[in-house]
């Protein structure tokens, strides 16, 4: 079994900023020498998440609007009361989305559908430099 690890460094704008990272992930996978296995994509931090979506403006807007319904910015969060940083909603949203994603690898490519992209979503209240670890395992 081969294990290869790559890292992406991405600048975000925060506040629900969604970045399509499919090309960068595929670059790590294709450079790994793994033909068949799995790839794990994981963002480091507790106010961002990783998922797949059809990355088009309408759905990006729908996603943002849905997150506002689930964990509204203006609600009271105990985290904000304790730390005073105003990003309790960011932590809740990131927890619901999750920090990582696992996909199959076939023919040295992460398997995604035609209209399915891998995205990083930064929920924090300000832009950040985000680290995303991409680990490929297989043969």
Question: Residue holding tokens 């088009």?
Answer: 56
φ and ψ at 122, to 5 degrees?
A: -100, 115
User: What is the reported pLDDT for 105?
Assistant: 98
pLDDT score of 39? 98
Q: Give the domain CATH number at 106.
A: 2.60.120.460
The predicted model scores a pTM of 0.96
**pLDDT tens column, 35-58:** 999 999 999 999 999 999 999 999
Segment 2-38, tens digit of pLDDT:
999 999 999 999 999 999 999 999 999 999 999 999 9
What are the backbone dihedrals phi and psi of residue 41, each rounded to the nearest 5 degrees, phi first? -115, 120
Please write the tens of the pLDDT for every residue from 64-89.
Answer: 999 999 999 999 999 999 988 899 99
Q: How many domains are there within the chain?
A: 1
Domain carrying residue 30 = 2-138
């Amino acid at each position: 079994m081969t294990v290869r690890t790559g890292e992406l460094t991405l600048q975000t704008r925060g506040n629900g900023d969604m970045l399509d990272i499919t090309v960068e992930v595929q670059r790590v996978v294709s450079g790994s020498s793994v033909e068949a296995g799995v790839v794990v994509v994981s963002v480091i931090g507790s106010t961002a998440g990783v998922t797949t979506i059809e990355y088009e403006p309408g759905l990006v807007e729908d996603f943002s609007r849905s997150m506002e319904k689930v964990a509204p910015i203006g609600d009271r969060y105990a985290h904000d009361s304790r730390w005073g940083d105003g990003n309790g909603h960011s932590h809740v949203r990131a927890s619901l989305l999750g920090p990582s994603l696992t996909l199959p690898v076939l023919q040295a490519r992460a398997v995604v559908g035609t209209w399915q992209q891998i995205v990083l979503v930064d929920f924090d209240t300000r832009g950040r430099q985000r680290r995303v670890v991409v680990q490929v395992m297989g043969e």
